């Protein structure tokens, strides 16, 4: 089955410079080509509907894709573990050069009269995907002592005092702490 990320480019290469609009939605990684993120890190599901919008243009020496890539991602709040669903949109501007070795990071390669946008889409999303996420900017997290979700209810646990500071506040007397 042909991948929706494979774009026919014969017409673009015949008439330089020309461009065509690229506009489609496809599973992020329908062929399961790419490694998922480690457990617990924000990740994009392989079947997540990913939107690609922009234009592909030929120029003397290659092709250039300019556009936007958007994909929904899942994460857990690093403070309270609440599941987060959000969408990441990334602006992309990348060159394609014929028979470019795959380890080159200046440009992507293409062969013959088809170009594969999948590696570009994958790289763009994974480079911008945060390594950790918060459910909200001021998430209070879980109490380290009793485990209560402090966004939902406060608890009576005293803030833990590091032994070194405890000793210091003993020496200085109680009223010097906190100011």
| List of residues contacting Zn ion (CB under 5 A) | 77, 79-80, 82, 135, 139, 143, 145-146, 155, 157
CB of 38 to Zn ion, least distance (A): 20
CA angle 29, 33, 39 (to 5 degrees): 75
State which residue, 16 or 146, has the beta carbon closest to Zn ion. Answer: 146
Q: What value does the CA radius of gyration of the chain take, rounded to a whole number of Å?
A: 25
Quick check: helix, strand or coil at residue 32?
coil
Q: What is the number of other CB atoms lying within 10 angstroms of the CB of residue 173?
A: 8
State which residue, 117 or 135, has the beta carbon closest to Zn ion. Answer: 135
State which residue, 22 or 80, has the beta carbon closest to Zn ion. Answer: 80
State which residue, 13 or 80, has the beta carbon closest to Zn ion. Answer: 80
Nearest by Cα to 115 from 129, 130, 133, 95: 95
CB 52 within 8 A of CB 28: no
CB of 129 to Zn ion, least distance (A): 18
CB of 79 to Zn ion, least distance (A): 5
CB of 133 to Zn ion, least distance (A): 9
């Amino acid at each position: 089955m042909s991948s929706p990320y494979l774009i026919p480019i014969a017409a673009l290469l015949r008439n330089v410079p020309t461009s065509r609009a690229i506009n489609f939605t496809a599973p992020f990684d329908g062929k399961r080509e790419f490694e998922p993120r480690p457990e617990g890190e924000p990740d994009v599901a392989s079947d997540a509907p990913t939107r690609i919008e922009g234009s592909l243009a030929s120029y003397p020496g290659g092709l250039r894709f300019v556009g936007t890539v958007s994909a929904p991602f899942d994460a857990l709040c690093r403070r309270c573990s609440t599941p987060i669903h959000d969408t990441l949109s990334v602006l992309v501007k990348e060159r394609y050069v014929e028979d470019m070795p795959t380890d080159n990071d200046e440009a992507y390669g293409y062969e013959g009269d088809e170009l594969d946008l999948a590696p570009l889409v994958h790289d763009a999303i994974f480079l911008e995907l945060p390594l950790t996420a918060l459910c909200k900017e001021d998430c209070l997290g879980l109490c380290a002592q009793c485990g209560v979700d402090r966004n939902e209810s406060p608890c009576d646990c005293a803030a833990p005092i590091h032994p070194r500071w405890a000793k210091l506040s003993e020496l200085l007397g109680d009223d010097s702490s906190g100011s």
